Structure 1
Amino acid sequence: MPEAAPRPEPVPPERVPSSRDAYRVALVVPRQGPAGMFGPSCRAAAHLAAEEVDTAGGVAGRPVHLVEVDAGAAPAEVARTVGALVDRGEVDAVAGWHLSSVRQALAPAVAGRVPYVYATAYEGGEVGDGVVCTGELPGEQVVSALRFLRREFGWRRWLVVGDDYVWPRATAHQAARVLRTAGVDLTAPLWVPLGSTDERVWERVVAELDRQADPRGGSAVPDGVLMLLVGSDGVRFNRAFHRAGLDARLVRFSPFMDETMLLGGGPETSRGLFASAGWFAGLTSAAALEFSAGFARHYERLVGVGGLAVPSPGTMAESTYLGLRWLADVGRRAVPGPREVDAARSAWSWDTPHGTVRLDGGRAHHRVHLAAATGAEFEVLGDVTADSTAG
């Protein structure tokens, strides 16, 4: 009979310093679920931001202490965890990259008691007290990119495939309404349960796309697929898309794609795949190169690579970084509370690795780039920011 394995020693709870000792931020990033693949990169970027803030003197003189919360749990569970930290006075702010479904549960739990920086590209419309959204909006990411692709390549008909929750549905609705006047059509949306691991689900989606793209069907033949899929869902879709040979007939565009997803899908799945975001690792400005070097150092320290190359920092990582840097920027002179954050989101600008980001009336305005996938990397094709307001 084999010897029983020893029982693991209990892990003592993390000691959270007092507010006199540190500026304590609940770092809410996913470590499981369809977005869990972004967690290691988001954590590395957050720790880089904290290090840089501390080197510059901290938040109103206090060093940053990150209290990590898994945003990959059910939204209600995340809200309970963070709400309890706020109730006990153990955090001074909440920040991180996570899905809109988590934000919708979390904002009421925080209830304007501490600042909440939502550092994710999202659908827009968040007006909660003390909540600042620093990510890109559909007009900048989807509308600008599809206008550019129509002008440069003539692609105007797009089938929509998205996860069935608030961000994909609201983004598709808003983009379709605006793009209609630019002669770009978003049609026949297919909604998939978030986190679908059954490969048959993706095979059925691809089969339906194949049917709609058949020129013998009598309707206008689409040019491509607008992907509104998160993390591992996008990876599974790209694999099924490639297996069916649809990448020879349809291009794909995603405003929620980074290098982590390209690695997950494999280089063979990147044919005809485009993405838009403020940040791509292929940017070569001094600020971008400095961020990439710092990210690599912290990724090795936090995650370890076991002899493998450190992955490129994706847009989810850079978004996490710039959200924390914004919070520290507001707190240069005094510890920022919800009132100071509400005032700053009306008009503020700060430097990021992909350029200056400006907050105006609660809306973050980014310089947005369009990129084409080449293997496991993105090649930046150009700045499409002007197309977000083009007629």
Structure 2
Amino acid sequence: MAYRVALVVPRQGPAGMFGPSCRAAAHLAVEEVDAAGGVAGRPVHLVEVDAGAPPAEVARAVAGLVGRGEVDAVAGWHLSSVRQALAPAVAGRVPYVYATAYEGGEAGDGVVCTGELPGEQVVSALRFLRREFGWRRWLVVGDDYVWPRATARDAAAVLAAEGVVLHEPVWVPLGCTDDDVWTRVVAAVGRHASGPTAPDGVLMLLVGADGVRFNRAFHAAGLDAELVRFSPFMDETMLLGAGPESTRGLFASAGWFAGLTSAAALEFSAGFGRHYERLVGVGGLATPSPGTMAESTYLGLRLLADVGHRAVPGPRDVDAARSAWAWDTPHGTVRLDAGRAHHRVHLAVATGAEFEVLADVTTGEGG
């Protein structure tokens, strides 16, 4: 009998661009888990659910699978708005591994969050940029939902005492496709780009296609000659979507970047490439680099398998792992402690359609 996992990743909406990579990474994880004996001796079978649908719809679909006994666990990369609907629908019934950088605070029964938290991913990166380049003032542009709002609020509270200011938030409807709106957003940024209180850069808290649209409009307005940009939600897929001409002065932070060169990182990238070509095909084009969303999906499934190494894991097993657990990932060891996942987080700068890793900002060491 297979160990059935509802793989909840987006296929539509602003985050839909990450779906193919997340699926390829998930299938790589399954291949490796099965080769090592499966979950408690059972091969893994993925039941795919589109996380790009409205959150309530996603929650109903997954709750239906759980209620009918069609899945043994839930895992995947998706937005916090989906997690907030999904967690109470499955809490205490099956394990749920939420494999996304998020705002913190999730404590549902049987829910474990494996992604980076703002303190590591945003605060540490902005501290590094202040120390190395003197950039202290940031204008926030974000999607209007829980992760950007909570991240901006919490980061601002921590950084204020250190002289780093996050000010003038501009909120945009999640999934906005109106070019006129993005033109107005960029114009609002431009109005703040001069004078004694001008920002040094823009803190982008934008998802997928929203970040792509903003970067294109930002470049078209010539603002990349005046302001830098930093995002904790940016991967190589978004760089390709925006185009290499739109990435000047663009920084990002994450646990994983495809430019990491450890043996584990190179092995993951090679395996990802095989599965991407098998699942998606590339039509004669080069296989894209695996972004942080793909690697997050992979490490979430590997955690679920590690917890289920000896016996089929239930919600209590996941709760125990949430209290104290560690497992190896392509970007290094990740530790769970009192519900918080601790990662080595890197800062990178865009060079065309790729990222160059500059530093490990969790230690301050050069990368």
Q: CA deviation at 1:386?
A: 2.8
Q: Which residue does the alignment assign to 1:366?
A: 343
Q: Does 1:278 align with 2:258?
A: no
* Of 142, 146, 157, the match for 1:177: 157
Q: Which residue does the alignment assign to 2:189?
A: 209
* Of 92, 96, 107, the match for 1:116: 96
Q: Which residue does the alignment assign to 1:31?
A: 11
Give the distance between the partners of 1:60 and 1:175, measured in 2 at CA.
41
Aligned-residue Cα RMSD (Å) equals 0.9
Q: CA deviation at 1:181?
A: 1.6
Q: Does 1:307 align with 2:284?
A: yes
Residue 149 of structure 1 aligns with an amino acid whose one-letter code is: L
Q: Which residue does the alignment assign to 1:236?
A: 213
Q: Does 1:138 align with 2:122?
A: no
Residue 117 of structure 1 aligns with an amino acid whose one-letter code is: V
* TM-score of the aligned structures, taking structure 1 as reference length: 0.93
Q: CA deviation at 1:221?
A: 1.4
Q: Does 1:297 align with 2:277?
A: no
Q: How many residues align?
A: 365
Q: Which residue does the alignment assign to 1:104?
A: 84
Give the distance between the partners of 1:112 and 1:189, measured in 2 at CA.
37
Q: Which residue does the alignment assign to 1:376?
A: 353
Q: Does 1:256 align with 2:233?
A: yes
Q: Which residue does the alignment assign to 1:12?
A: none
* Of 184, 199, 215, the match for 2:179: 199
Q: Does 1:186 align with 2:166?
A: yes
Question: Tell me, what secondary structure is at the counterpart of 2:349?
Answer: strand
Note the alpha carbon deviations across 1:229-276, whole angstroms, 9 max, x for none. 000000000000000000000000000000000000000000000000
Q: CA deviation at 1:183?
A: 1.2
Give the distance between the partners of 2:22 and 2:281, measured in 1 at CA.
14
Give the distance between the partners of 1:111 and 1:328, measured in 2 at CA.
19
Give the distance between the partners of 2:35 and 2:152, measured in 1 at CA.
42
Question: Tell me, what secondary structure is at the counterpart of 2:285?
Answer: coil
Give the distance between the partners of 2:363 and 2:319, measured in 1 at CA.
28
Question: Tell me, what secondary structure is at the counterpart of 1:54?
Answer: helix
Q: Which residue does the alignment assign to 1:71?
A: 51
Q: Which residue does the alignment assign to 2:143?
A: 163
Structure number with larger C-alpha Rg: 1
Q: Does 1:57 align with 2:57?
A: no
Q: Does 1:267 align with 2:270?
A: no
Give the distance between the partners of 2:363 and 2:102, measured in 1 at CA.
20
* Of 264, 272, 289, the match for 1:287: 264
Give the distance between the partners of 2:214 and 2:274, measured in 1 at CA.
32
Q: Which residue does the alignment assign to 1:93?
A: 73
Q: Does 1:344 align with 2:321?
A: yes
Note the alpha carbon deviations across 1:188-234, whole angstroms, 9 max, x for none. 0000000000011110001011101122xxx5111000000000000
Percent of residue pairs identical: 87
Residue 137 of structure 1 aligns with an amino acid whose one-letter code is: L
Note the alpha carbon deviations across 1:291-317, whole angstroms, 9 max, x for none. 000000000000000100000000000
Give the distance between the partners of 2:193 and 2:185, measured in 1 at CA.
12
Residue 101 of structure 2 aligns with an amino acid whose one-letter code is: A
How do 1:320-335 and structure 2 match up within 5 A?
A: 320-335=297-312
Question: Tell me, what secondary structure is at the counterpart of 2:103?
Answer: coil
Runs (5+) with no aligned partner, structure 2: none
Question: Tell me, what secondary structure is at the counterpart of 1:203?
Answer: helix
Q: Which residue does the alignment assign to 1:128?
A: 108
Runs (5+) with no aligned partner, structure 1: 1-20
Question: Tell me, what secondary structure is at the counterpart of 2:363?
Answer: helix
Q: CA deviation at 1:157?
A: 0.2
Note the alpha carbon deviations across 1:311-362, whole angstroms, 9 max, x for none. 0000000000000000000000000000111011100000000000000000
